[in-house]
Structure 1
């Protein structure tokens, strides 16, 4: 990992994604990231922030309901990704967000292999 200041954020992201199938690690925009198969799932944006894929309709609700965890910048406005204060969000909530991201990014084959859990709602 090129920047050791990102390691704590990526470690929490990894822990939250534990148990999700077909997760691979890589980089995105030069920072550590997770993928569901070949599709982007989440990445470390900076030492305190991760970006997680999120349907736009859920994003609006989350921004209003939990601004202590979720926010966006102009760059992410209108984009199906949520910025998350990684050190503030409880691991269980982050795990739920990654589960939802996995569900929207997983291929039909991955969803079928996972069974009903792969198709559960938000």
Structure 2
């Protein structure tokens, strides 16, 4: 996870105890998942699970297509991030998901690396021009058949 996230332009890692978060320009694109074990209980770190920013449509598609890898909880319901079980996802698939998350939050100054942003948030002259929400990461085959290479924490 760390190597994939930190390979993105101007990515930063922040540590808060055991909780890790990755951001660009001060905006988070992936972070360690913390959950409440019971209502009103203090949130605790869930090892091996990260929240990764994505579009709601992408989140819904991922959860429906591969619930063993992607899921949601009450706290994240309606929020543009999907929960990812790192032990169940291929490194290539995770890298694509992180690239898309990075593109969603990239600041304008960094946007020049991938193209110019338009008002609607799409990128012109770069990697994200009028594509389906999931076209930038390779999930189609990996959703159908598991692979021996899995992403590491």
**What's the C-alpha RMSD, in Å, of the aligned pairs?**
2.0
Q: Residue 73 of structure 1 corresponds to which residue in structure 2? A: 73
Return the offset for 1:37.
1.9
C-alpha distance after superposition, 1:26-73 (max 9, x if no partner):
036961110012101111122121111111111111111111110011
Structure 1's unaligned 5+ residue stretches are 1-12
C-alpha distance after superposition, 1:93-117 (max 9, x if no partner):
1111100100100012212133455
Q: Residue 9 of structure 1 corresponds to which residue in structure 2? A: none
Return the offset for 1:74.
0.9
| Contact 2:6–2:13 (CA under 8 A) maintained in structure 1 | no
Q: Is the aligned partner of 1:27 residue 2:15?
A: yes
Number of residue pairs matched by the alignment: 110
Q: Is the aligned partner of 1:43 residue 2:31?
A: yes
Secondary structure at the aligned position of 1:87 is classed as: helix
Q: Is the aligned partner of 1:91 residue 2:100?
A: no
Structure 2's unaligned 5+ residue stretches are 34-45, 116-124, 136-153
Distance, in Å, in 2 between the alignment partners of 1:110 and 1:63 is 30
- Pick the structure with greater CA Rg: 2
Change (3 A) 1:88 1:30: same
Q: Residue 5 of structure 1 corresponds to which residue in structure 2? A: none
Does 42-51 or 109-118 show the bigger shift? 109-118
Q: Residue 16 of structure 1 corresponds to which residue in structure 2? A: 4
Return the offset for 1:87.
1.3
| TM-score normalised over the length of structure 2 | 0.65
Q: Which has the higher helix share?
A: 1
| Contact 1:112–1:118 (CA under 8 A) maintained in structure 2 | no
